[in-house]
């Protein structure tokens, strides 16, 4: 019978996690991306200096193509009310609770033709603690209710790596994206 020393296992697991965070294995920041399909350039998060729609296209098997999708933050729009849908920003904002990790389904990318949560919506399960933000798994929105994703088809088989960011680094990227979006909206 095989026996694992739980202390060594926890130490290894802890050290592995910490080293990935301190090395910033996957840096994140806000950027302006010049998209294909004749879309004007737009603000978007970047992972490893790759715009999120391209990074997801290269690293997931959710849709055949995501490189032509745009960020939900700043692009979702309610045409009946002529108002931007702000829940995508509220869901992405890294908030934590002192009682434990918080898991939230965050819409990331939407179809530029529809600008809603109905077709071609990429989401992530975002887990936030006081020290880190993790993107645990990616999927496709399957249902929504009043601007909130209610059902998800998670990527299967899971091919996407779990991404871990320092809380402060993620918060800075969120703020950069927000500032870029405000400036871009005024342009």
Per-residue model confidence as pLDDT tens digits over 101-128: 999 999 989 888 777 778 899 999 999 9
Does the structure show a pLDDT above 50 at 89? yes
Question: 3-state SS of 53-105?
Answer: HHHHHHHCCCCCCCCCCEECCCCCEECCCCEECCHHHHHHCCCCECCECEEEE
- Select from 96, 103, 85, 94 the least CA-distant residue to 145: 85
- pLDDT per residue over 32-87, tens digit each? 887 665 467 889 999 999 999 999 999 999 988 999 898 888 766 554 555 555 67
Cα torsion through 86, 135, 52, 23, rounded to 10: 130
Kindly list the domain boundaries of the chain, sorted by start residue: 6-186
Which H or E element spans position 46?
Answer: strand 42-47
pTM of the model: 0.79
Structure confidence at residue 45 (pLDDT): 94
């Amino acid at each position: 019978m095989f026996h694992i020393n739980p202390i060594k296992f926890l130490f290894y697991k802890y050290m592995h996690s910490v080293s990935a965070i301190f090395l910033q294995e996957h840096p994140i920041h806000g950027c302006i991306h010049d998209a294909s399909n004749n879309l004007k350039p737009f603000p978007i998060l970047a992972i490893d200096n790759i715009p999120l729609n391209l990074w997801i296209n290269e690293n997931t098997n959710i849709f055949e193509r995501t490189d032509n999708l745009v960020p939900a933050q700043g692009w979702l729009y309610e045409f009946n009310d002529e108002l931007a849908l702000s829940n995508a920003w509220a869901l992405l904002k890294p908030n934590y609770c002192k009682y434990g990790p918080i898991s939230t389904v965050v819409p990331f990318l939407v179809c530029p033709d529809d600008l809603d949560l109905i077709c071609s919506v990429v989401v992530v399960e975002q887990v936030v603690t006081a020290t880190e933000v993790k993107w645990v798994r990616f999927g496709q929105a399957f249902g929504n209710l009043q601007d909130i994703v209610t059902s998800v088809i998670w990527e299967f088989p899971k091919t996407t790596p779990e991404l871990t960011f320092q809380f402060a680094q993620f918060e800075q990227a969120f703020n950069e994206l927000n500032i870029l979006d405000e400036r871009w909206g005024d342009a």
